[in-house]
Structure 1
Amino acid sequence: MSYSNTPAAKGSQDVWLDAAFELLLESGVDSVRILPLAKRLKLSRTSFYWFFKDREALLEALIARWREKNTQGLVDQTEAYAENIVEAMLNVFDCWLNPQLFDSQLEFAMRSWALQSAPVVREIDAADATRIEALTRMFERYGYDSLAANVRGRTIYLTQIGYISMKAQESLEVRMQRIPAYVEIFTGQPPGCRELQRFHARHGYAPPDTD
């Protein structure tokens, strides 16, 4: 077997997708092209076609991965076990602090891509609807009526998308200081010490000693 036909010489679908995501985040969708990807990976251009029919197939795979990561990641957090709405809200806030659950840079890149692609606009619209519906159902499970649940869900979601769209930057300490107030605004209930302690522990945060 020649070297060019070995798995190492072709890479893998995930390798090509990872590189495509890097280019998308660095330079936008116009930079996601087969030849630059091949050069970045030091693979032959023809090896791309072992995994994707063409560039359009690659772009569709990028959208599918974003959908699975960010939309499903957020939906899963709205459905995670919680004793009360405050704990449920903090589960959702995990998304904004853990890029493994929700990648804000990727979200920004996708929304930038949508500015020049009607099909991606439709994908964004569908994702927005799914995410807001998941947040609405979360509030309904904890006794909020349908209208209040939807308004609260929309407010949470649109606030975070605003953060992403504006590329707002906050230190972990500043964000953690603001989270209790956000929780109370969004749910109508302040978080308790135990709930905040568990949340802080999940994100490796130690509040400053106020004694």
Structure 2
Amino acid sequence: MSTPTKSPESGWRGSAEGWLQAAYDSLVESGVEAVRIQPLAKKLNLSRTSFYWFFKDRDELLAALIERWRAKNTGNLVGQAEAYAESIAEAILNVFDCWLTPALFDSQFEFAVRSWALQEPRVAEEVDVADKARLAALSGMFERFGFDGMSADVRARSTYLTQIGYISMNTHEDALTRMQRIPEYVKIFTGQPPQPRELERFYARHGYAVQAPTLVALAAKGPLHT
């Protein structure tokens, strides 16, 4: 967050990022109706007029929220789909990084924006554009590994819509259960199991340690049961 700007006339004005972060927090916690200038000013302990040093009006602030969501969630998902991979199994694991790394993909933000879209046609249009871009990136990922157009499209949709379903249902899994399900998801979405070395790299970057025999079992048989 940038350092607040001080003025003899208006005192501490805060910063554009500070106002945007407060708007994000309110959106995620309480929905778009909570994103109002006066409540945000109170939350930040700033004057209402200081808002106008950074944003023309509430609509401009809401547009900045959408841009933040677009850049983070769509931008990172597309980037992960296009990342280098030795196989389609590893490519899908790159995409799964989004579901497990809030820095890459903010599921709470996604839920809040999709809920907002139910009330606001302009936001619904933004969500539609984002969905198309994400699906195109996933479909292109499958095509790079030799899947024909229809197969790539259906697999992309299966991969993406499953995760959007998780988000829309506000589903929560403990980390162990989710990690144990990963190999089976890879097989379902790609038609092939991940190699133990691919799983090992994936698990390592998410801080999940398993022994080599367990990796082989996971790749060959799908999820273990606790």
Bucket of the pairwise TM-score, normalised by the shorter protein? over 0.9
Structure 1 gap segments, 5+ residues each: none
Q: 2:189 aligns with which of 186, 191, 200?
A: 186
Q: How does 1:47-86 map onto structure 2 within 5 Å?
A: 47-86=50-89
Report the CA distance shift for 1:145/1:34 in structure 2 as closer, same or farther (over 3 A): same
Q: Can you list the C-alpha shifts for 1:66-115, whole angstroms capped at 9, x where unaligned?
A: 00000001000001111111111000000000011110000000011011
* RMSD (Å), alpha carbons: 1.5
Contact 1:184 1:191 in 2 (8 A): yes
Q: For residue 45 of structure 1, what is the aligned residue in structure 2?
A: 48
Contact 1:111 1:124 in 2 (8 A): yes
For residue 207 of structure 1, report the CA deviation from its aligned partner: 3.0
For residue 44 of structure 1, report the CA deviation from its aligned partner: 1.0
Contact 1:86 1:190 in 2 (8 A): yes
Give the whole-Å Cα distance in 2 for the aligned partners of 1:21 and 1:3.
29
Q: For residue 22 of structure 2, what is the aligned residue in structure 1?
A: 19
Percent of matched pairs sharing the same residue: 64
Q: For residue 221 of structure 2, what is the aligned residue in structure 1?
A: none
Q: 2:109 aligns with which of 96, 106, 109?
A: 106
Give the whole-Å Cα distance in 2 for the aligned partners of 1:205 and 1:11.
40
Q: For residue 146 of structure 2, what is the aligned residue in structure 1?
A: 143
Q: For residue 133 of structure 2, what is the aligned residue in structure 1?
A: 130
Give the whole-Å Cα distance in 1 for the aligned partners of 2:105 and 2:173.
17
Q: For residue 199 of structure 1, what is the aligned residue in structure 2?
A: 202
Structure 2 gap segments, 5+ residues each: 1-5, 215-226
SS at structure 2 position matched to 1:75: helix
Q: Which runs of 4+ in 1 moved over 4 A?
A: 208-211
> What amino acid maps onto 1:94 in structure 2?
D
The total of aligned residue pairs comes to 209
- TM-score, reference length from structure 2: 0.89
Contact 1:136 1:152 in 2 (8 A): yes
> What amino acid maps onto 2:34 in structure 1?
S
> What amino acid maps onto 1:53 in structure 2?
K
Report the CA distance shift for 1:168/1:2 in structure 2 as closer, same or farther (over 3 A): closer
Contact 1:4 1:10 in 2 (8 A): no
Give the whole-Å Cα distance in 1 for the aligned partners of 2:104 and 2:53.
30
Q: How does 1:25-40 map onto structure 2 within 5 Å?
A: 25-40=28-43
Report the CA distance shift for 1:208/1:23 in structure 2 as closer, same or farther (over 3 A): farther
Report the CA distance shift for 1:80/1:51 in structure 2 as closer, same or farther (over 3 A): same
Q: Can you list the C-alpha shifts for 1:97-144, whole angstroms capped at 9, x where unaligned?
A: 001111000000001101110001101111111100000000001111
Q: 1:163 aligns with which of 144, 163, 166?
A: 166
Give the whole-Å Cα distance in 2 for the aligned partners of 1:5 and 1:102.
37
> What amino acid maps onto 1:112 in structure 2?
S
